[in-house]
Amino acid sequence: MTTVVTYGTFDLFHIGHVRLLKRLHSLGDRLVVGLSSDEFNTVKGKNVVIPYEDRKEILLSCRYVDGVFQENCWEQKRDDLEREGADIFAMGDDWIGKFDDLQDIVKVVYLPRTQDVSTTELKTVINQVYDEKLREVRNVASHLNTLIEKL
């Protein structure tokens, strides 16, 4: 049985995540995900929208994922890979070269990211929609205030 291990935050689960997990699962028989904790995401400078336990439940509901464990720091990867009996450690190609030091215990694979979709892009769009709605509310409030003053 070939075990594949990957890591990630998997916030605002989207089609890019599904496609990545599908490709990762196709590399072996078992896919295990090291899911970054909320605290570790803070250390990495990431603000997650969905809390760890919910992100874990979402991942475990995906047919491509066989298990999830918590990632709390950068340094734990070697121990995790050994504990999980990993044969392949795979990450997105935005991490090329960063984990080559693990090649003494696993095959390290970097997969291309899904084009035109990312959590960062989704958060940007959500913030733009929020800002637009906030402007609309402020305009309405201003208009109502003007009407009230005329009364």
Active-site positions read 44, 46
Cβ-contact 71, 37 below 8 angstroms = yes
Q: State both tokens at 143.
A: 């208009």
Rounded to a whole number of angstroms, the CA Rg of the chain reads: 21
Torsion of the alpha carbons at 128, 131, 133 and 134, rounded to the nearest 10: 170
Cβ-contact 113, 20 below 8 angstroms = yes
For residue 68, list its beta bridge partners.
33
For 37-101, strand residue ranges (E) read 67-71, 88-92
Angle ∠(95,97,102) on CA atoms, nearest 5 = 100
Tell me the Ramachandran region of residue 9: left when phi exceeds 0, alpha when psi lies from -120 to 50, beta otherwise. alpha
